[in-house]
Amino acid sequence: MALTVSVFGQNKTREVLTLEKNWRFHKGDVENAYAPDFNDSKWESVTVPHDWAIKGPFNMDIDKQTVAIVQNGEEVATEKTGRTGALPYIGVGWYRNQFSIPNFSAEKKVILLFEGAMSEPEVFLNGKKIGSWNYGYSYFYFDITDHILADQQNSLAVKLTNRERSSRWYPGAGLYRNVRVIVKNKASIDQWGTFITTPFISSELAKVNVKTKVSGEHLILVTQIKDADGKIVATDTTKTLYDNEFEQNIAVSNPKLWSPETPYLYTSISQLYMGNHLKDEISTRFGIRKIKYEAEKGFSLNDSVIKFKGVCLHHDLGPIGTAVNTAALRRQLTILKDMGANAIRSSHNMPSFEQLELCDEMGFLFLAESFDEWAKPKVENGYHLYFETDAEKDIVNLVQATRNHPSIVMWSSGNEVPDQWGSDGAKRAKWLQDIFHREDPTRPVTVGMDQVEATMASGFGAVLDIPGLNYRVHLYEEAYKAFPQGLILGSETASTVSSRGIYKFPVVEAKMKQYNDLQSSSYDLEACSWSNIPDEDFVLQDDKPWVIGEFVWTGFDYLGEPTPYDDMWPSRSSYFGINDLAGLPKDRYYLYRSRWNTKDETLHILPHWNWEGREGEVTPVFVYTSYESAELFVNGKSMGVQKKNMSSPTNRYRLMWMDVIYEPGTIKVVAFDSEGRPVAEKETHTAGKPYQLVLEADRTQLNADGKDLAFVTVSVVDKNGILCPTATNQLNFNVTGAGTYRAAANGDATSLEMFHLPTMKLFSGKLVVLVQSAEDVGKIELTVSGKGLKTAKTYITTIN
């Protein structure tokens, strides 16, 4: 079935068609699959965004890499079986679709936009190759005007090629972001041709500078600025063109400033006229905000010094893979907002438009990253193959496509690139930084540096606007003195590893610790050979004003890179996350929350209290809390009061009772305010046998658009309603009504159960089920059952 663009109604100057439906997909190369008359009827029917590999199955032989990971300090090559997620992303995939453009004429222009295609896309229209791109994370577009068949079906085919040994994590596969057809007049505003900045801001007035690149002659640009309520607050008209660009300086009175606390957004409406005829119209959301980076003082937003309380995020969304989904992204950001995070770093690639739009709306500062490789390789078929020819155009597209987002406050041109050694690397760093500056003079550029001593010697670090240190906490002072900028960014911090709900004894700090069950301890004292526990970064953030913030590795677990088990099967996803792959908080979440969320109380006890067989053994109890002191009770008996102190990093940020002897029953913590008065308490109980299931949906209403998601947390409790923290029951899921079952995840990095099948084991007593809306208004019923457990149901409605 062909898709039709309804072009140019009475008041319409452009149409944007998102090619979501009616795609046909085939894994494997096919001769002549680009031909308009090719028969694809036996191909799989899919919607885009689409990740062809996420359904698995997991296989240790997929992209098996024998390598020494230099970034991890490895000197001897070993076999890595889960480094890229052990999912079948390698190979060729073909996508085909059709669309038609009625009333197409010589006055029109057609743009074909890809927001991400993994990888090396080759694009064919009506049997002719119209272009290709290399970088799977890049946004790119082609002018397809000369290839359009008017009033006929146009055949679109896309060939994607994912090479083995091309990534260090699961990159996904397919048209994983949106594909759009844009139909407009030839006299029009250029693609990504609008650039809005706010060079002057006071409480009474903001100057909004709007640069607009256009195509055509004898044009007039009218720009309206609307506030968040849609009220016009300023207007400007200009006829003056400089090198095909209009420039306007528009005064906005009593501006409302954008910040993480008040993410206020304005909208600029650009109307392009030729005489009295409206030729084009676009709207651009933006924020009025002021950023500044100063030596010794740090980063300020709207003249207030703040620190980045940030996390790094890979682009996969756990059980749905890399296929972009707004509901899944919003859930991630909601969880991080509650934790107190105010910043996101896209790692190590260009962010999706949807993620940036949400960060604008919800109030997150954003560090937008571009590359994981430059000219020197990390993996055999990585970006270094294209760096010399493609880096500039990839940066240009990144900046031009996203520079109007107020959330973006910094660019990153690279992460842990091997080019950090020698003068050639320093020259590349400056070359890339100059491109960013040319395209956007308003934001600084950083690089995540792990070879800090090398960058001090080569001049690499001195070149950067902002020196970014990945780990290397022991070198912060030396780097601060060596680099001329007068500030340091923790561009990647911690890399603490843990498994939700899993605790190991004895409780001691350890590096690269491995256990027979391939899990890591959630006492949050285990890190990697190159990294550290969170507390060591907290000290630097709190005590050094020239440390401007941190981006923790990572906010959520992601597919691939299962350190410290990357050479042990069946580990296939990371342990770094503050939240697990299902989006469920680990204990570490509350450690960060106790420090970052300054508005809400945090009081969290670990571990759980189900330790059959450990009776009489030492079982330490930790408390993560926003309060300074607390008293612990075991079955009513006081274990004493602990108070945060400066004796060590861990004592400064955690309350720890190291000599508690386990006995079944109840542990209770009572927190005290600064005057020593009890103000909050929490209990953990020993649970009985699993009895029934409890369902909790993050949302009870979904949009009836066929893609909205509800995330339903499934827990198993005993007869008294106490969570059973060690339960691993096999559960089954059934969805009926106005929705479908999409996926499930339990957060277990060693699980080989496939996400898309309606059954999965609990991990540490919990898992998450994803329910997807249909396009019908109605009610969705989710039923979850398990052998020997009381079945549970929940209901979700879909609305227009």
Contact 118, 54 (CB under 8 A): no
Q: β-strands 343-346, 510-511: how paired?
A: unpaired
Contact 510, 497 (CB under 8 A): no
- State which amino acid sits at residue 769: V
Of 373, 492, 561, 631, the catalytic one is 492
> What backbone phi and psi angles, to 5 degrees, belong to 385?
-65, -25
Q: DSSP E strands: which ranges in 146-201?
A: 153-162, 179-185, 188-201
Query: Active-site residue 31, yes or no?
Result: no
Distance separating alpha carbons of residues 707 and 704, to the nearest angstrom: 8
Distance separating alpha carbons of residues 436 and 196, to the nearest angstrom: 16
Per-residue burial over 81-107, b = 16 or more CB atoms within 10 Å of its CB, e = otherwise? bbbbbbbbbbbebbbbbbbbbeebeee
- State which amino acid sits at residue 156: L
Distance separating alpha carbons of residues 181 and 334, to the nearest angstrom: 32
Name the helix (H) or strand (E) containing 481.
Answer: helix 476-482
Task: State both tokens at 301.
Answer: 């937003």
The sign of the torsion formed by the CA atoms of 37, 38, 42, 47 equals: negative
Residues with Cβ within 8 Å of residue 647, at least 6 apart in sequence:
none
DSSP string, 271-319: EEEETTEEEEEEEEEE----EEEETTTEEEETTEE--EEEEEE-S--GG
Task: State both tokens at 233.
Answer: 């607050």
Task: State both tokens at 77.
Answer: 């090559």
Task: State both tokens at 20.
Answer: 């979501």
Task: State both tokens at 432.
Answer: 């890339």
Distance separating alpha carbons of residues 121 and 132, to the nearest angstrom: 6
- State which amino acid sits at residue 7: V
Distance separating alpha carbons of residues 86 and 164, to the nearest angstrom: 12
What is the residue whose two structure tokens read 């995939």?
93
Cα–Cα separations (whole angstroms), residue 524 to 521, 595, 764: 7, 15, 16
Contact 194, 211 (CB under 8 A): yes
Query: Active-site residue 492, yes or no?
Result: yes
Distance of CA 20 to the CA centre of its chain: 22
Residues in the chain, overall count: 800
Distance separating alpha carbons of residues 622 and 588, to the nearest angstrom: 11
Cα torsion for 726, 732, 738, 742, to the nearest 10°? 70
Judged on CB neighbours under 10 Å (0-12, 13-18, 19+), 651 is middle
Distance separating alpha carbons of residues 799 and 775, to the nearest angstrom: 9
Distance separating alpha carbons of residues 428 and 670, to the nearest angstrom: 56
Of 354, 369, 416, 550, the catalytic one is 416
Distance separating alpha carbons of residues 784 and 672, to the nearest angstrom: 41
Strand order through the sheet with 666-672: 637-643, 629-634, 666-672, 678-685
Task: State both tokens at 791.
Answer: 């079945």
Q: Interior CA angle at 647 toward 643 and 650, to 5°?
A: 70
- State which amino acid sits at residue 665: G
- Preceding omega of 570 cis (within 30 degrees of 0): yes
Cα torsion for 296, 300, 305, 307, to the nearest 10°? -90
Catalytic residues: 416, 492
